[in-house]
Structure 1
Protein backbone atom coordinates (compact mmCIF):
# COMPACT_ATOMS: atom_id res chain seq x y z
CA UNK A 1 0.00 0.00 0.00
CA UNK A 2 1.15 3.51 -0.77
CA UNK A 3 -0.45 6.71 0.50
CA UNK A 4 -0.08 9.56 -2.02
CA UNK A 5 0.33 12.99 -0.46
CA UNK A 6 0.21 14.82 -3.79
CA UNK A 7 -2.68 14.97 -6.23
CA UNK A 8 -3.60 16.59 -9.51
CA UNK A 9 -6.94 17.81 -10.80
CA UNK A 10 -7.18 17.90 -14.60
CA UNK A 11 -8.92 21.21 -15.25
CA UNK A 12 -7.60 22.58 -18.54
CA UNK A 13 -10.22 21.23 -20.94
CA UNK A 14 -12.40 23.37 -23.16
CA UNK A 15 -15.70 21.71 -22.22
CA UNK A 16 -16.94 22.25 -25.76
CA UNK A 17 -20.01 20.05 -25.38
CA UNK A 18 -21.21 22.24 -22.52
CA UNK A 19 -21.23 25.38 -24.63
CA UNK A 20 -22.49 28.10 -24.48
CA UNK A 21 -22.09 27.85 -20.69
CA UNK A 22 -18.37 27.16 -21.01
CA UNK A 23 -17.86 30.15 -23.27
CA UNK A 24 -17.87 32.27 -20.12
CA UNK A 25 -17.02 29.86 -17.28
CA UNK A 26 -14.50 27.00 -17.27
CA UNK A 27 -16.16 23.62 -16.87
CA UNK A 28 -14.48 22.83 -13.50
CA UNK A 29 -16.17 25.92 -12.02
CA UNK A 30 -19.66 24.82 -13.04
CA UNK A 31 -21.61 24.52 -9.75
CA UNK A 32 -23.24 21.31 -8.60
CA UNK A 33 -24.81 21.11 -5.14
CA UNK A 34 -23.92 24.77 -4.69
CA UNK A 35 -20.15 24.32 -5.21
CA UNK A 36 -17.92 24.13 -8.28
CA UNK A 37 -17.02 20.66 -9.52
CA UNK A 38 -13.37 21.55 -8.94
CA UNK A 39 -13.93 22.12 -5.23
CA UNK A 40 -15.66 18.78 -4.84
CA UNK A 41 -12.60 17.08 -6.36
CA UNK A 42 -10.14 18.98 -4.17
CA UNK A 43 -12.25 18.21 -1.10
CA UNK A 44 -11.98 14.47 -1.83
CA UNK A 45 -8.21 14.74 -2.20
CA UNK A 46 -7.83 16.73 1.01
CA UNK A 47 -9.94 14.20 2.92
CA UNK A 48 -7.58 11.47 1.69
CA UNK A 49 -4.61 13.26 3.25
CA UNK A 50 -3.29 15.02 0.16
CA UNK A 51 -1.26 18.06 1.20
CA UNK A 52 -0.49 19.48 -2.26
CA UNK A 53 -2.84 19.65 -5.24
CA UNK A 54 -1.62 20.61 -8.70
CA UNK A 55 -4.32 22.12 -10.93
CA UNK A 56 -3.60 22.55 -14.62
CA UNK A 57 -5.36 25.42 -16.39
CA UNK A 58 -5.79 26.65 -19.95
CA UNK A 59 -9.30 27.61 -21.10
CA UNK A 60 -10.41 30.62 -19.02
CA UNK A 61 -7.69 29.54 -16.64
CA UNK A 62 -7.42 32.84 -14.81
CA UNK A 63 -10.93 32.34 -13.44
CA UNK A 64 -9.78 29.08 -11.86
CA UNK A 65 -6.64 30.74 -10.47
CA UNK A 66 -8.67 33.52 -8.86
CA UNK A 67 -11.24 31.10 -7.48
CA UNK A 68 -8.62 28.91 -5.83
CA UNK A 69 -7.02 31.84 -4.02
CA UNK A 70 -9.87 31.61 -1.51
CA UNK A 71 -8.92 28.07 -0.44
CA UNK A 72 -6.67 28.00 2.65
CA UNK A 73 -5.85 24.29 2.27
CA UNK A 74 -4.53 22.10 0.84
CA UNK A 75 -1.61 23.82 -0.87
CA UNK A 76 -2.63 24.61 -4.46
CA UNK A 77 -0.05 24.80 -7.25
CA UNK A 78 -1.04 25.96 -10.73
CA UNK A 79 0.34 24.38 -13.90
CA UNK A 80 -0.58 26.85 -16.66
CA UNK A 81 -0.68 25.54 -20.22
CA UNK A 82 0.07 28.02 -23.00
CA UNK A 83 -1.55 25.59 -25.43
CA UNK A 84 -3.99 22.80 -24.60
CA UNK A 85 -1.99 19.66 -23.81
CA UNK A 86 -4.83 17.14 -23.28
CA UNK A 87 -4.72 14.81 -20.30
CA UNK A 88 -1.38 13.11 -20.91
CA UNK A 89 0.45 16.23 -21.95
CA UNK A 90 -0.99 18.12 -19.01
CA UNK A 91 0.28 15.57 -16.50
CA UNK A 92 3.66 15.40 -18.24
CA UNK A 93 4.13 19.16 -17.97
CA UNK A 94 3.14 19.05 -14.29
CA UNK A 95 5.54 16.22 -13.32
CA UNK A 96 8.15 18.58 -11.77
CA UNK A 97 5.39 19.80 -9.42
CA UNK A 98 4.16 16.31 -8.59
CA UNK A 99 7.39 14.80 -7.30
CA UNK A 100 8.89 11.34 -7.62
CA UNK A 101 6.25 9.28 -5.80
CA UNK A 102 2.94 7.92 -7.15
CA UNK A 103 0.20 10.54 -7.08
CA UNK A 104 -3.57 10.80 -7.36
CA UNK A 105 -4.99 12.31 -10.55
CA UNK A 106 -8.69 13.10 -10.94
CA UNK A 107 -10.77 14.67 -13.68
CA UNK A 108 -12.15 18.09 -12.88
CA UNK A 109 -15.59 17.25 -14.28
CA UNK A 110 -16.32 14.03 -12.39
CA UNK A 111 -18.18 13.95 -9.10
CA UNK A 112 -18.33 10.90 -6.89
CA UNK A 113 -19.70 9.90 -3.51
CA UNK A 114 -17.99 7.20 -1.52
CA UNK A 115 -19.24 3.87 -0.30
CA UNK A 116 -18.28 2.45 3.09
CA UNK A 117 -14.59 3.18 2.41
CA UNK A 118 -13.54 6.32 0.48
CA UNK A 119 -12.59 5.57 -3.12
CA UNK A 120 -9.18 7.21 -2.80
CA UNK A 121 -8.41 5.07 0.27
CA UNK A 122 -9.43 1.96 -1.67
CA UNK A 123 -7.16 2.93 -4.56
CA UNK A 124 -4.25 3.51 -2.18
CA UNK A 125 -4.81 0.15 -0.50
CA UNK A 126 -4.94 -1.66 -3.86
CA UNK A 127 -1.92 0.04 -5.42
CA UNK A 128 1.23 -2.06 -5.01
CA UNK A 129 4.35 -0.41 -6.50
CA UNK A 130 5.85 -3.87 -7.01
CA UNK A 131 2.97 -4.81 -9.31
CA UNK A 132 1.39 -1.59 -10.56
CA UNK A 133 2.33 1.55 -12.43
CA UNK A 134 -1.27 2.79 -12.49
CA UNK A 135 -4.47 2.01 -10.62
CA UNK A 136 -7.78 3.12 -12.17
CA UNK A 137 -11.16 3.55 -10.53
CA UNK A 138 -13.89 2.01 -12.70
CA UNK A 139 -17.62 2.64 -12.60
CA UNK A 140 -20.44 0.35 -13.68
CA UNK A 141 -21.92 1.87 -16.83
CA UNK A 142 -25.48 0.96 -15.78
CA UNK A 143 -25.30 3.16 -12.69
CA UNK A 144 -23.27 6.07 -14.07
CA UNK A 145 -25.31 9.28 -14.01
CA UNK A 146 -24.67 11.58 -16.97
CA UNK A 147 -22.86 8.89 -19.00
CA UNK A 148 -24.33 8.90 -22.51
CA UNK A 149 -22.48 6.06 -24.18
CA UNK A 150 -23.18 2.37 -23.67
CA UNK A 151 -19.96 0.83 -24.93
CA UNK A 152 -17.91 1.17 -21.74
CA UNK A 153 -14.13 1.13 -21.51
CA UNK A 154 -12.97 -1.99 -19.67
CA UNK A 155 -13.66 -5.57 -18.70
CA UNK A 156 -12.23 -7.05 -15.52
CA UNK A 157 -10.88 -10.59 -15.64
CA UNK A 158 -11.22 -13.21 -12.93
CA UNK A 159 -7.74 -12.18 -11.81
CA UNK A 160 -8.93 -8.59 -11.36
CA UNK A 161 -6.87 -7.29 -14.28
CA UNK A 162 -8.52 -4.88 -16.73
CA UNK A 163 -8.90 -5.45 -20.45
CA UNK A 164 -9.87 -2.74 -22.91
CA UNK A 165 -13.12 -3.06 -24.82
CA UNK A 166 -12.56 -4.26 -28.39
CA UNK A 167 -14.50 -3.16 -31.51
CA UNK A 168 -17.98 -4.63 -31.46
CA UNK A 169 -17.92 -5.32 -27.71
CA UNK A 170 -19.86 -3.65 -24.90
CA UNK A 171 -17.93 -3.48 -21.65
CA UNK A 172 -19.58 -3.23 -18.21
CA UNK A 173 -17.18 -0.66 -16.78
CA UNK A 174 -16.09 2.85 -17.68
CA UNK A 175 -13.07 4.75 -16.41
CA UNK A 176 -14.27 7.06 -13.64
CA UNK A 177 -11.55 9.70 -14.05
CA UNK A 178 -9.92 8.85 -10.70
CA UNK A 179 -6.55 7.12 -10.50
CA UNK A 180 -3.07 6.69 -9.05
CA UNK A 181 -0.15 7.12 -11.45
CA UNK A 182 3.56 6.43 -11.05
CA UNK A 183 5.74 9.23 -12.49
CA UNK A 184 8.12 6.84 -14.25
CA UNK A 185 5.25 5.82 -16.55
CA UNK A 186 5.83 9.14 -18.30
CA UNK A 187 9.47 8.43 -19.17
CA UNK A 188 9.94 9.16 -22.87
CA UNK A 189 6.43 10.63 -23.07
CA UNK A 190 5.84 12.52 -26.31
CA UNK A 191 6.14 16.28 -26.38
CA UNK A 192 2.98 18.34 -26.64
CA UNK A 193 -0.62 17.18 -26.46
CA UNK A 194 -1.57 13.53 -26.02
CA UNK A 195 -4.12 11.43 -24.15
CA UNK A 196 -3.50 9.54 -20.94
CA UNK A 197 -4.80 6.52 -22.85
CA UNK A 198 -1.30 6.19 -24.27
CA UNK A 199 0.03 5.87 -20.73
CA UNK A 200 -2.62 3.30 -19.79
CA UNK A 201 -1.74 1.24 -22.86
CA UNK A 202 1.90 1.26 -21.81
CA UNK A 203 0.97 -0.07 -18.37
CA UNK A 204 -1.42 -2.61 -19.91
CA UNK A 205 1.27 -3.93 -22.23
CA UNK A 206 3.59 -4.42 -19.26
CA UNK A 207 0.87 -6.13 -17.20
CA UNK A 208 1.10 -3.30 -14.65
CA UNK A 209 -2.31 -1.64 -14.95
CA UNK A 210 -4.61 -2.25 -12.00
CA UNK A 211 -8.26 -1.37 -11.55
CA UNK A 212 -11.04 -1.61 -9.00
CA UNK A 213 -14.76 -0.90 -9.20
CA UNK A 214 -16.26 2.06 -7.38
CA UNK A 215 -18.81 1.05 -4.76
CA UNK A 216 -20.49 4.44 -4.38
CA UNK A 217 -22.21 6.92 -6.69
CA UNK A 218 -20.60 8.55 -9.72
CA UNK A 219 -21.72 11.49 -11.85
CA UNK A 220 -20.26 13.15 -14.90
CA UNK A 221 -21.19 16.42 -16.62
CA UNK A 222 -21.09 16.25 -20.41
CA UNK A 223 -23.56 18.69 -21.98
CA UNK A 224 -26.42 20.91 -20.80
CA UNK A 225 -28.87 18.01 -20.74
CA UNK A 226 -26.41 15.93 -18.73
CA UNK A 227 -25.82 18.77 -16.29
CA UNK A 228 -29.56 19.11 -15.76
CA UNK A 229 -29.84 15.36 -15.20
CA UNK A 230 -27.03 15.36 -12.63
CA UNK A 231 -28.46 18.35 -10.77
CA UNK A 232 -31.97 16.87 -10.72
CA UNK A 233 -30.72 13.49 -9.44
CA UNK A 234 -28.65 15.11 -6.72
CA UNK A 235 -31.49 17.41 -5.68
CA UNK A 236 -33.71 14.34 -5.21
CA UNK A 237 -30.92 12.54 -3.39
CA UNK A 238 -30.43 15.35 -0.88
CA UNK A 239 -34.15 16.01 -0.48
CA UNK A 240 -34.58 12.43 0.69
CA UNK A 241 -31.91 12.64 3.40
Structure 2
Protein backbone atom coordinates (compact mmCIF):
# COMPACT_ATOMS: atom_id res chain seq x y z
CA UNK A 1 0.00 0.00 0.00
CA UNK A 2 1.46 3.36 -1.00
CA UNK A 3 1.75 6.00 1.74
CA UNK A 4 -1.17 8.33 2.25
CA UNK A 5 -0.46 11.92 1.27
CA UNK A 6 -0.78 14.59 3.91
CA UNK A 7 -3.90 16.63 4.15
CA UNK A 8 -3.65 19.80 2.03
CA UNK A 9 -4.47 23.20 3.38
CA UNK A 10 -8.16 24.01 3.63
CA UNK A 11 -9.75 25.11 0.39
CA UNK A 12 -13.19 26.16 -0.66
CA UNK A 13 -15.32 23.64 -2.48
CA UNK A 14 -16.05 24.98 -5.97
CA UNK A 15 -19.64 25.69 -6.81
CA UNK A 16 -21.26 22.88 -8.80
CA UNK A 17 -21.63 23.33 -12.51
CA UNK A 18 -25.06 23.78 -14.08
CA UNK A 19 -24.89 20.14 -15.19
CA UNK A 20 -24.14 18.79 -11.72
CA UNK A 21 -26.97 16.70 -10.23
CA UNK A 22 -28.95 18.45 -7.54
CA UNK A 23 -30.49 15.24 -6.21
CA UNK A 24 -28.97 11.99 -5.03
CA UNK A 25 -29.86 8.59 -3.67
CA UNK A 26 -27.91 6.83 -0.94
CA UNK A 27 -28.29 3.05 -0.90
CA UNK A 28 -28.64 2.06 2.76
CA UNK A 29 -31.03 -0.91 2.76
CA UNK A 30 -28.65 -3.87 2.97
CA UNK A 31 -28.71 -6.46 5.74
CA UNK A 32 -24.99 -6.16 6.49
CA UNK A 33 -24.62 -9.90 7.11
CA UNK A 34 -20.87 -9.91 6.41
CA UNK A 35 -20.44 -7.09 8.92
CA UNK A 36 -21.69 -9.16 11.87
CA UNK A 37 -21.40 -8.96 14.84
CA UNK A 38 -21.24 -5.18 14.38
CA UNK A 39 -24.62 -5.13 12.64
CA UNK A 40 -26.46 -7.09 15.32
CA UNK A 41 -27.27 -3.87 17.15
CA UNK A 42 -27.31 -1.27 14.37
CA UNK A 43 -27.66 -1.12 10.58
CA UNK A 44 -24.46 -1.14 8.59
CA UNK A 45 -24.75 2.50 7.36
CA UNK A 46 -24.64 3.71 10.97
CA UNK A 47 -21.39 1.93 11.83
CA UNK A 48 -18.80 4.66 12.47
CA UNK A 49 -15.57 5.05 10.56
CA UNK A 50 -13.12 7.39 12.29
CA UNK A 51 -15.92 8.54 14.58
CA UNK A 52 -18.58 9.23 11.94
CA UNK A 53 -21.26 6.87 10.60
CA UNK A 54 -20.67 5.72 7.03
CA UNK A 55 -24.01 7.20 6.01
CA UNK A 56 -22.91 10.65 7.17
CA UNK A 57 -19.65 10.39 5.25
CA UNK A 58 -21.68 9.90 2.07
CA UNK A 59 -24.21 12.64 2.83
CA UNK A 60 -21.51 15.14 3.78
CA UNK A 61 -19.76 14.58 0.44
CA UNK A 62 -23.03 15.10 -1.39
CA UNK A 63 -23.70 18.30 0.53
CA UNK A 64 -20.22 19.57 -0.36
CA UNK A 65 -20.96 18.82 -4.03
CA UNK A 66 -24.02 21.06 -4.00
CA UNK A 67 -26.68 18.36 -3.74
CA UNK A 68 -29.79 19.87 -2.18
CA UNK A 69 -31.96 16.76 -1.72
CA UNK A 70 -31.11 13.13 -1.03
CA UNK A 71 -33.26 10.02 -0.88
CA UNK A 72 -32.09 7.35 1.57
CA UNK A 73 -33.57 3.87 1.32
CA UNK A 74 -33.66 1.51 4.29
CA UNK A 75 -34.80 -1.92 5.39
CA UNK A 76 -32.88 -3.57 8.23
CA UNK A 77 -33.34 -1.50 11.42
CA UNK A 78 -34.70 1.26 9.23
CA UNK A 79 -36.17 3.05 12.22
CA UNK A 80 -32.68 3.73 13.51
CA UNK A 81 -31.71 5.27 10.18
CA UNK A 82 -34.84 7.44 10.19
CA UNK A 83 -34.13 8.62 13.74
CA UNK A 84 -30.51 9.37 12.90
CA UNK A 85 -31.49 11.52 9.93
CA UNK A 86 -34.43 13.27 11.55
CA UNK A 87 -32.59 16.51 12.27
CA UNK A 88 -30.47 16.67 9.13
CA UNK A 89 -31.35 19.62 6.91
CA UNK A 90 -28.62 19.63 4.26
CA UNK A 91 -29.12 17.94 2.01
CA UNK A 92 -32.84 17.68 2.65
CA UNK A 93 -33.63 14.03 3.35
CA UNK A 94 -36.49 11.93 1.99
CA UNK A 95 -36.79 8.37 3.26
CA UNK A 96 -37.66 5.40 1.07
CA UNK A 97 -38.24 2.46 3.44
CA UNK A 98 -38.52 -1.01 1.92
CA UNK A 99 -40.73 -3.64 3.52
CA UNK A 100 -38.90 -6.27 1.48
CA UNK A 101 -35.43 -5.93 0.03
CA UNK A 102 -35.58 -4.60 -3.52
CA UNK A 103 -31.85 -4.80 -4.34
CA UNK A 104 -30.10 -1.83 -5.89
CA UNK A 105 -32.20 -1.46 -9.02
CA UNK A 106 -35.53 -2.07 -7.34
CA UNK A 107 -34.61 0.36 -4.59
CA UNK A 108 -34.00 3.16 -7.07
CA UNK A 109 -37.19 2.31 -8.98
CA UNK A 110 -39.28 2.57 -5.81
CA UNK A 111 -37.75 5.99 -5.10
CA UNK A 112 -38.42 7.43 -8.59
CA UNK A 113 -41.30 9.68 -7.45
CA UNK A 114 -38.86 11.29 -5.00
CA UNK A 115 -35.94 11.53 -7.42
CA UNK A 116 -37.58 13.16 -10.42
CA UNK A 117 -36.43 12.84 -14.00
CA UNK A 118 -33.06 14.63 -14.08
CA UNK A 119 -29.77 12.74 -13.70
CA UNK A 120 -28.88 11.92 -10.10
CA UNK A 121 -25.93 10.75 -8.06
CA UNK A 122 -26.35 7.28 -6.58
CA UNK A 123 -23.94 6.45 -3.75
CA UNK A 124 -23.53 3.23 -1.77
CA UNK A 125 -23.45 3.62 2.00
CA UNK A 126 -20.74 1.00 2.59
CA UNK A 127 -17.84 2.75 0.88
CA UNK A 128 -15.55 5.60 1.83
CA UNK A 129 -13.39 7.60 -0.51
CA UNK A 130 -10.79 10.30 -0.18
CA UNK A 131 -10.67 12.86 -2.96
CA UNK A 132 -7.62 13.30 -5.14
CA UNK A 133 -6.58 16.73 -6.46
CA UNK A 134 -10.26 17.64 -6.98
CA UNK A 135 -13.49 16.25 -5.47
CA UNK A 136 -14.66 13.02 -7.09
CA UNK A 137 -18.30 14.09 -7.34
CA UNK A 138 -17.31 17.28 -9.11
CA UNK A 139 -15.12 15.32 -11.52
CA UNK A 140 -18.05 13.05 -12.33
CA UNK A 141 -20.28 16.06 -12.97
CA UNK A 142 -17.72 17.64 -15.31
CA UNK A 143 -17.36 14.41 -17.29
CA UNK A 144 -21.08 13.74 -17.47
CA UNK A 145 -22.49 14.05 -20.99
CA UNK A 146 -26.22 13.24 -21.10
CA UNK A 147 -26.18 13.23 -24.90
CA UNK A 148 -23.71 10.32 -24.97
CA UNK A 149 -24.19 8.61 -21.59
CA UNK A 150 -26.89 6.79 -19.69
CA UNK A 151 -24.65 6.13 -16.70
CA UNK A 152 -21.20 7.32 -15.62
CA UNK A 153 -19.55 5.13 -12.99
CA UNK A 154 -16.73 6.08 -10.66
CA UNK A 155 -14.17 3.28 -10.87
CA UNK A 156 -11.26 2.26 -8.67
CA UNK A 157 -8.18 0.37 -9.79
CA UNK A 158 -8.82 -3.19 -8.63
CA UNK A 159 -5.29 -3.61 -7.28
CA UNK A 160 -5.57 -0.47 -5.13
CA UNK A 161 -9.05 -0.99 -3.70
CA UNK A 162 -8.76 -1.38 0.07
CA UNK A 163 -11.08 -4.04 1.49
CA UNK A 164 -11.97 -5.46 -1.93
CA UNK A 165 -10.97 -9.02 -2.82
CA UNK A 166 -12.84 -9.64 -6.08
CA UNK A 167 -11.79 -9.89 -9.72
CA UNK A 168 -12.89 -6.39 -10.69
CA UNK A 169 -15.90 -5.38 -12.76
CA UNK A 170 -14.99 -3.49 -15.93
CA UNK A 171 -12.52 -2.83 -18.69
CA UNK A 172 -12.40 0.79 -19.86
CA UNK A 173 -11.27 2.04 -23.27
CA UNK A 174 -9.38 5.34 -23.80
CA UNK A 175 -12.65 7.22 -24.30
CA UNK A 176 -14.11 5.90 -21.05
CA UNK A 177 -16.54 3.34 -22.51
CA UNK A 178 -16.99 0.31 -20.30
CA UNK A 179 -17.14 -3.40 -21.01
CA UNK A 180 -17.98 -5.90 -18.29
CA UNK A 181 -15.30 -8.51 -17.62
CA UNK A 182 -15.78 -12.08 -18.78
CA UNK A 183 -16.59 -14.81 -16.31
CA UNK A 184 -13.00 -16.04 -15.92
CA UNK A 185 -11.29 -12.69 -16.47
CA UNK A 186 -9.73 -10.23 -14.08
CA UNK A 187 -10.71 -6.64 -14.82
CA UNK A 188 -8.56 -3.59 -14.01
CA UNK A 189 -11.42 -1.59 -12.47
CA UNK A 190 -14.03 -2.19 -9.78
CA UNK A 191 -17.20 -0.12 -9.47
CA UNK A 192 -16.52 2.35 -6.65
CA UNK A 193 -20.13 2.68 -5.47
CA UNK A 194 -20.70 6.16 -6.93
CA UNK A 195 -22.39 7.03 -10.21
CA UNK A 196 -24.41 9.55 -12.16
CA UNK A 197 -27.37 7.89 -13.85
CA UNK A 198 -30.63 8.78 -15.56
CA UNK A 199 -33.35 7.61 -13.17
CA UNK A 200 -35.88 7.00 -15.92
CA UNK A 201 -33.88 3.96 -17.02
CA UNK A 202 -35.04 2.12 -13.90
CA UNK A 203 -38.67 2.33 -15.07
CA UNK A 204 -38.05 1.03 -18.59
CA UNK A 205 -38.78 -2.71 -18.96
CA UNK A 206 -37.81 -3.58 -15.38
CA UNK A 207 -39.50 -5.81 -12.77
CA UNK A 208 -41.78 -4.32 -10.15
CA UNK A 209 -39.89 -6.09 -7.36
CA UNK A 210 -36.22 -6.72 -6.68
CA UNK A 211 -33.59 -6.42 -9.38
CA UNK A 212 -29.97 -5.35 -9.67
CA UNK A 213 -28.64 -2.15 -11.22
CA UNK A 214 -26.52 -4.50 -13.35
CA UNK A 215 -29.61 -4.79 -15.58
CA UNK A 216 -29.42 -1.04 -16.26
CA UNK A 217 -25.67 -1.05 -16.82
CA UNK A 218 -25.74 -4.04 -19.17
CA UNK A 219 -28.40 -2.37 -21.28
CA UNK A 220 -26.41 0.87 -21.36
CA UNK A 221 -23.28 -1.06 -22.37
CA UNK A 222 -25.11 -2.71 -25.24
CA UNK A 223 -26.17 0.73 -26.45
CA UNK A 224 -22.62 2.10 -26.13
CA UNK A 225 -23.78 4.52 -23.42
CA UNK A 226 -22.03 3.15 -20.30
CA UNK A 227 -18.97 5.15 -19.30
CA UNK A 228 -16.52 5.25 -16.43
CA UNK A 229 -14.12 7.62 -14.71
CA UNK A 230 -11.11 6.39 -12.75
CA UNK A 231 -10.93 7.67 -9.17
CA UNK A 232 -7.69 9.50 -8.45
CA UNK A 233 -7.73 9.25 -4.65
CA UNK A 234 -7.98 6.50 -2.07
CA UNK A 235 -11.02 4.23 -1.81
CA UNK A 236 -12.18 1.79 0.84
CA UNK A 237 -14.83 -0.93 0.63
CA UNK A 238 -16.04 -1.48 4.19
CA UNK A 239 -17.82 -4.79 3.93
CA UNK A 240 -16.46 -6.73 6.91
CA UNK A 241 -15.13 -5.98 10.41
CA UNK A 242 -11.62 -6.74 9.14
CA UNK A 243 -12.02 -4.23 6.30
CA UNK A 244 -13.26 -1.63 8.79
CA UNK A 245 -10.23 -2.22 11.01
CA UNK A 246 -7.86 -1.99 8.03
CA UNK A 247 -9.48 1.25 6.87
CA UNK A 248 -9.24 2.90 10.27
CA UNK A 249 -5.65 1.73 10.72
CA UNK A 250 -4.59 3.21 7.38
CA UNK A 251 -6.37 6.48 8.09
CA UNK A 252 -5.00 6.77 11.61
CA UNK A 253 -1.45 6.31 10.30
CA UNK A 254 -1.85 9.36 8.06
CA UNK A 255 -2.51 13.04 8.48
CA UNK A 256 -5.66 12.78 6.39
CA UNK A 257 -8.87 13.66 8.21
CA UNK A 258 -12.22 12.29 7.08
CA UNK A 259 -14.19 13.67 10.03
CA UNK A 260 -16.04 16.94 9.53
CA UNK A 261 -16.02 19.04 12.68
TM-score (norm 1): 0.96
Q: Does 1:236 align with 2:253?
A: yes
SS at match of 1:79: strand
Shift of 1:2: 2.0
Contact 1:136 1:180 in 2 (8 A): yes
Shift of 1:239: 7.4
Q: Does 1:96 align with 2:113?
A: yes
**C-alpha distance in 2 between matches for 1:152 and 1:239:** 27
Contact 2:108 2:199 in 1 (8 A): no
Let me know the Cα RMSD of the aligned residues.
1.5
Q: Name the structure 2 match of 1:51.
A: 68
- 1:174 corresponds, among 156, 168, 190, to 190
Q: Name the structure 2 match of 1:216.
A: 233
Kindly report which structure 2 residues correspond to 1:30-179, keeping only aligned pairs within 5 A, or say none: 30-149=47-166, 151-179=167-195
- 1:203 corresponds, among 212, 215, 220, to 220
Task: Structure 2 unaligned segments of length 5 or more: list them.
Answer: 1-17
SS at match of 1:174: strand
Which of structure 1's runs of 4+ aligned residues deviate more than 3 A?
none
Deviation per residue, 1:158-204 (Å, 9 max, x gap): 33211111022111110000000102212222111111111110111
Deviation per residue, 1:119-148 (Å, 9 max, x gap): 111111111111001000000111111112
Contact 2:163 2:246 in 1 (8 A): yes
Contact 1:185 1:203 in 2 (8 A): no
Shift of 1:72: 2.7
- 2:36 corresponds, among 19, 24, 33, to 19
**C-alpha distance in 1 between matches for 2:107 and 2:256:** 38
Task: Structure 1 unaligned segments of length 5 or more: list them.
Answer: none
**C-alpha distance in 2 between matches for 1:215 and 1:4:** 21
More helix by share: 1
Q: Name the structure 2 match of 1:227.
A: 244
TM-score (norm 2): 0.89
**C-alpha distance in 2 between matches for 1:133 and 1:158:** 18
Q: Name the structure 1 match of 2:25.
A: 8
Shift of 1:117: 1.4
The count of corresponding residues between Structure 1 and Structure 2 is 240
